[in-house]
């Protein structure tokens, strides 16, 4: 299994959205803080990113900026340009940009997009990202990312049948390309640390893939270490140092994260959710889930707008006695 893809899927909720914006100087857009993440791409011209903290960032043609933590920020033609608030609608979509009053070519053409995220299950990999990920356009670098940007720009410029599904898929693809480009850049610069180093470490990455591919398996630390050719003690030290917690703690966290996603997105009986996340009974699973989320599984499912399964009520109301 792909740990990077899983890390994104664990947090993503709802549908992403994006828009193409043509701008004539002076211009400025201010985006309020949110639970999601956003990106901006300069297709033509230039812009200044004004983060919530830190210095303004000059953004040139082809540059991509990604803001992972939902902090408020602005994008403008210059550091001192007047700013206009961009307010999302009831469905969290940004309003369509007004038609430009001028017939001349815009000074700047932008792609702007946003993703809805569940911050309560923020994966450590995304939590370690800097406030602003700036990927400057450089010849021969991040070719897949550039291709995805070009395709997205074409779809937003000329809407054709099927555009809604294509744009959604391209936005999901673009997010993964952005994260991959950041990871490869960190690795190439010799700045591996934390999760960047964990993904590059053969022993730790092998254990992570095993956990993600088979969360229901009763893994032991020794078995996970053997996947990377390390003794139990050496593996436990290396995993804890890079990931930030012991292997058993991460396994439990990933099982509960997987369970939460199943309850949000599927109508599987609670018994099957428990089995697929390594618990031998619904009651043992319900106890572990409530300890992690503060809600019983059935309550959590209903709060996410999913219909309850037949076993939800009994698991919610029965006091569990078994341990996972």
Residue 103 has a pLDDT of 67
Kindly give the interhelix angle for 143-157 and 163-188, rounded to the nearest 10 degrees: 160
In this structure, which topology does domain 200-317 adopt according to CATH? Answer: Arc Repressor Mutant, subunit A (1.10.10)
Q: Where are the beta strands (DSSP E) in the chain?
A: 12-23, 28-31, 37-44, 47-51, 57-59, 64-67, 73-76, 84-86, 108-117, 133-135
Residue 233 has a pLDDT of 97
Parse the chain into domains and list their residue ranges.
3-188, 200-317
Q: Do domains 3-188 and 200-317 have the same CATH topology?
A: no
pLDDT band with cut points at 50, 70 and 90 for residue 322: very low
pTM of the full structure: 0.80
Mean pLDDT of the 41-52 span: 94
Residue 241 has a pLDDT of 93
In what order do the strands lie in the sheet containing 57-59?
57-59, 47-51, 73-76, 28-31, 84-86
Mean pLDDT of the 277-301 span: 92
pLDDT at 168 over 50: yes
CATH hierarchy code of domain 3-188:
2.60.120.280
Peptide bond into 26 cis (omega under 30): yes
pLDDT band with cut points at 50, 70 and 90 for residue 140: confident
Residue 45 has a pLDDT of 94
pLDDT band with cut points at 50, 70 and 90 for residue 318: very low
What is the spatial distance between Cα 314 and Cα 274, in angstroms, rounded to a whole number?
14
């Amino acid at each position: 299994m792909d740990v990077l893809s899983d890390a994104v899927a664990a947090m993503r909720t709802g549908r992403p959205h994006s828009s193409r914006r043509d701008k004539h100087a002076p211009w400025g857009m201010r985006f309020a803080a949110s639970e999601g993440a956003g990106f901006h791409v300069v297709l033509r011209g230039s812009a200044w990113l004004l983060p919530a903290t830190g210095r303004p960032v000059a953004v040139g043609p082809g540059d991509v900026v990604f803001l992972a933590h939902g902090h408020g920020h602005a994008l403008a033609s210059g550091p001192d340009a007047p700013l206009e608030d961009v307010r999302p609608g009831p469905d969290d979509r940004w309003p369509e940009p007004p038609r430009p009053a001028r017939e001349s070519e815009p000074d700047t053409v932008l792609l702007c997009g946003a993703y809805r995220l569940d911050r309560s299950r923020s994966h450590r990999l995304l939590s370690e990202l800097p406030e602003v990920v700036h990927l400057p356009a450089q010849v021969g670098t991040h070719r897949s990312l550039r291709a995805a940007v070009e395709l997205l720009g074409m779809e937003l410029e000329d809407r054709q049948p099927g555009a809604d599904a294509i744009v959604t898929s391209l936005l999901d693809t673009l997010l993964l390309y952005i994260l991959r480009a950041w990871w490869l850049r960190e690795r190439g610069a010799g700045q591996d640390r934390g999760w960047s180093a964990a993904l590059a470490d053969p022993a730790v990455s092998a254990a992570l893939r095993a956990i993600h591919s088979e969360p229901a398996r009763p893994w032991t630390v020794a078995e996970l270490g053997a996947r990377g050719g390390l003794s139990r003690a050496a593996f436990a030290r290396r995993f804890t140092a890079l990931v930030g917690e012991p292997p058993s703690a991460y396994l439990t966290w990933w099982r509960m994260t997987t369970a939460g996603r199943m309850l949000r997105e599927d109508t599987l009986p609670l018994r099957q959710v428990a089995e697929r996340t390594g618990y031998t009974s619904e009651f043992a699973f319900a106890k572990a889930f409530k300890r992690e989320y503060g809600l019983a599984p059935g309550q959590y499912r209903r709060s996410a707008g999913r219909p309850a399964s037949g076993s939800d009520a009994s698991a919610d109301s029965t006091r569990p006695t078994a341990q996972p």
